[in-house]
Structure 1
Amino acid sequence: MIYTDWLYWLFVLATCILFYVVPYRVRPYVLFAGGVTFYTYYAGSFIFLLLSEVIIALLLIYWASKKSSKWIYPAAILGAVLVLGYFKYSGMLIETLQELFSFINQPFLPTVEQLILPLGISYFTFELIHYLVERKRGNLPEHKPIGLLAFIFFFPTMVAGPIKQFQVFYPQLQARFQWENIPYGIGRIGIGLFKKLVLAESIKLIAAPIYTEAGIAQSDLSTLWIALIAYTFVIYFDFSGYSDIAIGTARLFGIVVPENFRNPYMARSIAEFWNRWHISLGAWLTRYVYFPLGGSRVSQPRVYFNLMCTMTVSGLWHGAAWNFVVWGMFHGVMLCIHRFFVKEVKPKFPPVPKWLKPGTTVLSIAITFFGVTISRVFFVLPILAGWELTLRLFGLK
């Protein structure tokens, strides 16, 4: 892991000091140079891919400013999506086609070597798309091209987010140094490292039986349930630990980036869960997938369709395998059920008495946690193995 490398923290210290000693106008250049150095060290020549994407985007933006054309921004966004698709999903596509053709006993000649996924390309692509869309809408502050480069190559969030917004990030480059940011940043980094290295790694030992089909076959029912619940917490401490480290590191530079997790397992509904879990991703999907599809301002069947599409994209973003698609669709179904209950069922019943509300709150939290936990089956395992585990968990096999 990058964050356990002592050289990384030495790099953070040197870059942070340089950031504060240079004039304000030079700060974006420091962050850009720091990001390029960081990425080159850990990802090698893939830095040229990311630089090429940003440079092409800047050229298209400049072209759009000189020549009115409706296709320039969509072309830039499509280009970013295609690059992500090639590196992350082409292998999945070829393997799927091969399986389909073998099922009908027909040869499928094209093959693809296992591509190396560029470090952090999912976060990079989503932030670039955000920038392009908001630039097209005219929602960004005036800035020079170096502003985009500093934003995209801000190394604390390049690998594991959170997904930033340019209009929030860029003005902070002019902020004065504040001593209180240092203890806060160090403390937040410490919390993140503790979550990742102590809690997640320790609980992972309890979750071990569900990581393999052999482990599932050799475990009894109670062991499987305990392992699945443990895995649910492994995912939380792992993801939120990375976010804490990124948030704390960014604060050392006086930059506040979005919170990504807010006690998600205390959510009283699946909708509330997605307002607490991977918050920056949920906000991005809402803004650039759900709303463009029509959001909730359309007919109810269309709203359900929009929710399913959005959560399917969420599943694909998490991993290039069909089990992640199933996981995303699982959450889409839960969101549709919740919306149907809120809109169609709940209004037909009288309000819950005050003395019952604590009990209903606990029950709501338990039901939400149960649904989220069951969905993890398809996050950790391929579809068939996940289905087998689901049957075992409910005593159906």
Structure 2
Amino acid sequence: MLDGDPFAYFSDLLVLMVVAVPLYFLLPWAWARRLLLGLAGAYLLYLIAPRLLAFYVLFWLGVYVLQLAATRWRDRPSSWVLTTTLVLLTLAPLVVWKLRPEWAVLEFNVGMNGLVDGLSPWVGAVDRVRDLILPIGLSFATFRAIDQIVKVRLEIVPPLRPLHQLAYGFFPTVLIIGPVIEYTEIDRRLDERARWDPNDTLSGILTIGLGALKVFVLAYLLRGSQDVFSLSTRSGSPLDYWLELVMFAFYFYFNFSGFSDMAIGSARIFGFRLAPNFNNPYLKTNPQAFWNAWHMSVTRFAQRNVFVPLGGMRARTQYVAIVATMMVIALWHDLTIPLVIFGLYHSAGLIGHRWWVARHPVPDHRGLARRAGANVLLFVFYLLSLPLLMVELGSLGDFYGRLL
């Protein structure tokens, strides 16, 4: 599920990096490098639409204030109520957008254009020629903001100062396509002397190249598989649907993981070593391994902020924690009934696997045939959930019927 036009965004990013990267390493002051990173991200949002930049300035300013509130009442007996309130306030824009998308998108475009126009008629005129847009990247920004507030509340990191907040909020490589980075992935680098490392540059270029191969070669060749969900114009045998569903699964993976690689590789050229976002999920043999390898930044966020706090490490509460974690991951994409079903479906898979392994431990060394069989079963289980991401509720029965 990709926001906006990642191709145009990364084209602008790579052109900008020709100037920004040398300047970043030449600047002798850490504050100036933080400012440069923030301004680079702001400029990329401005290129999409000035109103989008205005929205994120307000969003991250709000997050800056909320993190200060998290520290002010940290030691009070009811501080958990405050923390919950702060998280809900951070979630509010995303929830409103998902619940009332047409109204929210209209108000977003009209309201932010009015704000921009009031600040600068010239920039407002530039903004009016841009197409209507979604609040691109808000899903990723919301999880990053929540993670920051929780970490500040738990004293894992100190409250971010203004330029640190600017650099983190507008970190240029992850704004519209993720991954959902943690502040602790970049904080040390924001304060230390920037020294150019040719190994970082080479690694970043190779990672960008791998991502481009996935997106512009492999995913491009499979792009027609998206038509499998166009039920009104599609006909064919069950085998045809299964084959196209398999091709779509690989298109989905190559496209999503490819852009993630490009974001991570671009950050590496600046010297930031972000955690990987995918780790060959289609080669895994059980649901837990799959989710620890698929869109790992979101999985890590949900594990830290949902699974562990709800008692996922305790036998008595582990299943409740699993369901809550998967529902957060599912509903992060959208607030729809099919995605509720998606969350429950994968919760059942994770719980069933955990229950089975507790009673039938998996041997350390399994034969190739047994591992391959487990991999195929897991892949089919995953395939059957893809329509829940792509097909409207009223058409799901028809789609699954065609698979049979």
Tell me the TM-score normalised to structure 2 length: 0.84
8 Å contact 1:19–1:30 — kept in the other structure?
Answer: yes
State the match for 2:285 in structure 1.
Answer: 268
CA 1:289–1:353 in structure 2 vs 1: closer, same or farther (change >3 Å)?
Answer: closer
For the residue of structure 2 that corresponds to 1:155, the secondary structure is coil
Partner of 2:369: 359
1:381 to 361, 384, 391: 391
Residue 184 of structure 1 corresponds to: 203
1:3 to 7, 13, 31: 7
User: Does the CA-based 8 Å contact 1:88-1:117 persist in structure 2?
Assistant: no
Which runs of 5 or more structure 2 residues have no equivalent in the other structure?
105-131
Question: Cα offset for 1:261?
Answer: 0.6
* 1:90 paired residue among 70, 84, 100: 100
The answer to whether the aligner puts 1:231 opposite 2:235 as a matched pair is: no
Shift of residue 141 of structure 1? 5.3
Give 1:66 shift.
5.2
Residue 59 of structure 1, aligned match among 65, 69, 72: 65
Tell me, yes or no, if the aligned pair for 1:92 and 1:321 is still in contact at 8 Å. no
Other structure's SS at 1:74 match: helix
Alignment partner, residue 378 of structure 2: 368
Q: How many residues are paired up?
A: 365
Q: Which runs of 5+ in 1 are unaligned?
A: 95-114
Q: Which moved more, 1:225-234 or 1:162-171?
A: 162-171
Q: Which has the higher contact order (CA 8 A, sep 6+)?
A: 2
1:154 aligned counterpart, secondary structure: coil
User: Closer, same or farther in 2 for the Cα pair 1:369/1:29, shift >3 Å?
Assistant: same
Sequence identity percentage: 26
Shift, 1:329, TM fit: 2.0
Aligned pair partner of 1:120 in 126, 137, 148:
137
| Distance in 1 between residues matched to 2:67 and 2:278, nearest whole Å | 34
Matches within 5 A, 1:297-312: 297-299=314-316, 302-312=317-327
Alpha-carbon separation, structure 2, partners of 1:282 and 1:92: 29
- Cα distance in 2 for residues equivalent to 1:8 and 1:65: 35
Q: Which of these residues, 20, 37, 56, is aligned with residue 31 of structure 1?
A: 37
- Counterpart-to-counterpart distance in 2, 1:360 and 1:9: 45
Q: Distance in 2 between matches of 1:62 and 1:318?
A: 29
Equivalent pair of 2:168/2:183 in contact (CA under 8 Å): yes
**Residues in 2 aligned to 1:65 and 1:366: alpha-carbon distance in whole angstroms:** 49
CA deviation after TM superposition for structure 1 residue 303, in Å: 2.4
Q: Name the TM-score, length of structure 1 as normaliser.
A: 0.85
SS of corresponding position for 1:45: helix
CA distance in 2, matches of 1:389, 1:306: 31
Quick one: structure 1 residues 337 and 43, their matched pair in 2 at CA, closer, same or farther if it must change by over 3 Å?
farther
Check 1:249–1:27 CA distance in 2 against 1; reply closer, same or farther (3 A cut): same
Aligned residue among 209, 213, 220 for 1:194: 213
RMSD value, Cα: 2.4
Pairing 1:222–2:226 present: no
Distance 1:38 1:120 in 2: 12
Secondary structure of the residue aligned to 2:151 is: helix
How far apart, CA to CA, are the structure 2 residues paired with 1:132 and 1:389? 42
**Whole-angstrom distance in 2 between the partners of 1:212 and 1:256:** 40
* Contact 2:70/2:152 (<8 A) preserved: no
- The superposition leaves residues 278-330 of structure 1 with CA deviations (integer Å, 9 ceiling, x where unpaired) of 1111000111111222213141xx42232122212211112343322222222
